Amino acid sequence: MTQSASNPASPATLDTPRKPTVMDVAKKVGLSHTAVSLALRGRPGVSPKQQQRIRQAAAELGYQPKAAAQMLRSGRTGYIGLLLEPGGPEMLTHSSSSNAILSYFLHACQHSQRRYNVEFYHQNPDGFEPPHQLAGSLVDGLLLGGFIDAQLRKWLLQQPHYKWVSVDEPGPYAVLSDINIGVAQAVKELYDLGHRRIAYGGGPYHYRQHEIGRMGYLTGMSNLGLPVDESWIGRFGSMPQVPQMQNSRNQRQWVKNLLKQPNYPTAFIGNGIGVARNTLVEALTMGLRVPEDISIMAVGVSTSAMDTCPAFSTIENDYRTIMNTALDMLVQLVDGNTVKQNEVHVNPVIVMRESVGPIQA
């Protein structure tokens, strides 16, 4: 650690010595700071030999360019933003879809070597306030993850400065997942295994995913000529109003009534792993076996589905493709290129696991 010795100037307190700058590196190798800047960014204009010396000197000094200065001068931040909705003040964990969006966003960024900045958008109680990322110009563009405050969307629409792409919600540039197609396909797969009596449960239906999921179920059933009994469609409370434990109890009660019927369903599709789990637990409590007596499928993410044994078969948003697509789209916008499609639809994936089996003779 020789950097304090090589930084004789400037008021550096003893306990926190100044970080080295381009100038320090330049002095060390006896070149101009311009050369250092170019070399470290791999730009042409510096001979390979000098480049090597500069790199080494930088490494020895522990030099790291200050992002603020780079942003200020270059007019680009080099960062991509992700804006998510937090669970809310009292709901502590954010939803599993936010979680998946975040995970695959990170994955995509790592893959394409992009720096990111994740922000969780909180509405300000006194008056609208835009997200810091944008207000402070800390990102070149933004991915809006899932459902986001309407006021913010409105504000964004009338801002000329910002580039953004919406994920799984509509917008001028958007990537959407057609979970309805997945649900309809799940119905078909259950049908092929011999199932004819298939029930469905989900909600709250003001979320796009839940609403189109329900529609997918209806479509799937009607495509196969299967009758739909409205009492076989569960509608579960909107999270913020109904406390989670009560919601969970309601689900079990509904499933209990469903399975008490003489001709109870042989298969169930739940929109959300929680719904599926409560169905599993209720079935087991009633002495039914899964999947022998009843098959269960869930709309949800893999990790949650495999948490419990038997692992759930799932209808999953293909967040990997979704986020890669969205990031590509945003990069095009940021780079000023024209974007081919401003709305891309991504098909969900079906993964069969232990909770589904053929109907028993």
Residue nearer to DNA on the CB measure, 65 or 204? 65
Integer Cα distance of 73 and 19 in angstroms: 19
Residues 271-330 that bind its own copies (CB under 8 A): 273-274, 277-278, 280-282, 284-285, 287, 289, 301-304, 306-309, 311, 319
Is 3 an interacting residue with respect to DNA (CB under 7 A)?
Answer: no
Pick the piece of the chain touching its own copies (CB under 8 A) from 68-76, 146-154, 220-228, 339-347.
Answer: 68-76
Of 54, 57, 85, 104, which one interacts with its own copies (CB under 8 A)? 104
Query: Pattern 204-243, binding to its own copies, x per CB under 8 A?
Result: ----------------------------------------
Q: Which of residues 20-39 bind DNA (CB under 7 A)?
A: 21-23, 30-35, 37-38
Q: Site for DNA (CB under 7 A): which residue of 59, 69, 91, 284?
A: 69
Phi/psi zone of residue 68: left (φ > 0), alpha (ψ -120 to 50 degrees), beta? alpha
CA separation for the pair 315, 301 (Å, rounded): 8
Q: Where are the alpha helices (DSSP H) in 193-348?
A: 208-223, 244-260, 273-285, 302-305, 319-334
Q: Is there a contact between 264 and 278 (Cβ–Cβ < 8 Å)? A: no
Q: Out of 55, 107, 208, 235, which residue is the one contacting its own copies (CB under 8 A)?
A: 107
Residues 36-65 that bind DNA (CB under 7 A): 37-38, 40-41, 43-47, 50, 63-65
Query: 3-class SS at 115?
Result: strand
Check residue 73 for interaction with DNA (CB under 7 A): yes
> What are the C-alpha distances in Å from 299 to residues 21, 152, 318, 353?
52, 28, 12, 13
**Distance of closest approach, residue 114 Cβ to DNA, in angstroms:** 16
132 membership: H or E segment, kind and range: helix 132-135
**The residue count for the chain:** 361
